[in-house]
Structure 1
Amino acid sequence: METKPFAVVSAVPPYGHVICSEKWRNSSLVQSLKGGGVKILFENELGVADFNLPNKSSILYVSECDIIAGNSYKRKLVRYRNASSSFQELVLVEKTRLSEQYFQAVQTFVVFDLGLSLLPVSGQSEASQFISQIVHGEGRDNPFRRRSSCRLFDPLVLTLIQQVPGVGKVKALALLQNFSSIHQLCNATPTKLEAIVGQVGAQQIHSFFHKHTTAGT
């Protein structure tokens, strides 16, 4: 009986499908996914995750209401990070007019404290477009390739890197060719960074990532 939840949490949906937590059944996000040709499998036992995708990634959705309501979303994020799963974990966070003032703190907690990938979305419509892109893109590419998540999440990492002051799309793309994750980039030495983006860019990137750790000491 105890093995069932683990089996469901670890279930990978077929290509073209998404396993979705039952609580999303009547949401506009799910309706948009259906309209985009994504088949939905509803499940009560997904654990903390909201969605499981065919490329062995899972999604936790943090809404504007979650952020404004207080810090309870942080406990859910910690449980999500600590969940025993072979899935790549991704957090979608609503960045709206109301939640924007809290966004930097949320991003710091998700990316720097928990080491999870984060993608800001304007709402459920944009989230459904992103999920659809992964579902359909993975199916068109190679349905038997397992470890394609790095390429699928390049746009996500690209978005995050461009939030560093002074780093535009060109520099961000150059960094992506050398660092496959935010963790690698965060731990890169200024010397390594300098070889890619120059001395000024290296200093900006290094200080951006490490000001969060030095501020708390």
Structure 2
Amino acid sequence: LLSLFMFFHFCVKILFENELGVADFHLPNKMCILYVFECDIIAGNGYKRKLVRYRNASSSFQELVLVERTRLSEQYFSAVQKFVVFDLGLSLLPVSGQTEASQLITQIVNGEGRENPFRQRTSSWLLDSMSVALVHQLPGVGRVKALTLMQNFPSIQEIYSASTAELEPIVGQASAQQIHSFFHADHTAGT
């Protein structure tokens, strides 16, 4: 975290606190951040305990997880992403390293007066380009099917939890099987 603090020194005011709990950062806009290092991902499942403690720490802060996605950690990233987003229900942003993470955190802090883009919305899923692009990455899903899925399932968690029979009337048999297989295939090899 030293390089993160070195960058912050010039951009934002830093207060050091011994009582942060599991979170690595508490931002002034009611957001807390946990940073998962490349070495933790490669070393094994130890980071999972920290993530579970982070999620379970009852907090009025919006929780965000930054994960180092590098050439070395790339093979483990899909399993980490699935665990953080689907199993724990946390927001995840991949970063290439501590420099990018510090720039992102600085942008969040400097954008304090603006709406928090990571705050969970109570209304139905927004049909923005990022959400469409994310669902569009599922196998067998084009732009039209992505929009249709988003209209029928209010979250990715619901798409993940849906059975093939529930997906089939919306995207067809072949796509339903591909989506279900994508989410439920064994992605734990190598972790």
Q: TM exceeds 0.5?
A: yes
Which of 54-63 and 198-207 deviates more? Answer: 198-207
Residue aligned with 2:100, SS: helix
The match for 1:77 among 48, 51, 55 is 51
**Which residue is 2:34 aligned to?**
60
Residue 150 (structure 1) shift: 3.6
CA distance in 2, matches of 1:137, 1:205: 36
Unaligned 5+ segments in structure 2 are 122-127
**Which residue is 2:100 aligned to?**
126
What root-mean-square deviation, in Å, do the aligned CA atoms of Structure 1 and Structure 2 show? Answer: 3.5
CA distance in 1, matches of 2:70, 2:118: 30
Residue aligned with 1:65, SS: helix
**Which residue is 2:124 aligned to?**
none
Residue 163 (structure 1) shift: 4.4
Residue aligned with 2:64, SS: strand
Conservation of the 8 A alpha-carbon contact between 2:26 and 2:32:
yes
**Which residue is 2:9 aligned to?**
34
**Structure 2 vs 1, CA of residues 147 and 63 (structure 1 numbering), >3 Å: closer, same or farther?**
closer
Conservation of the 8 A alpha-carbon contact between 2:36 and 2:66:
yes
AA paired with 2:8? L
* Cα deviations by residue, 1:82-127 (Å, 9 ceiling, x for unpaired): 1121222221111111111111221222222222222111101111
**Which residue is 2:87 aligned to?**
113
AA paired with 1:190? L
Residue 28 (structure 1) shift: 1.3
Residue 67 (structure 1) shift: 1.2
CA distance in 1, matches of 2:38, 2:93: 14
Conservation of the 8 A alpha-carbon contact between 2:32 and 2:64:
yes
CA distance in 2, matches of 1:49, 1:34: 19
Aligned residues: 177
TM-score (norm 2): 0.71
CA distance in 1, matches of 2:6, 2:140: 39
Q: Percent identity?
A: 68
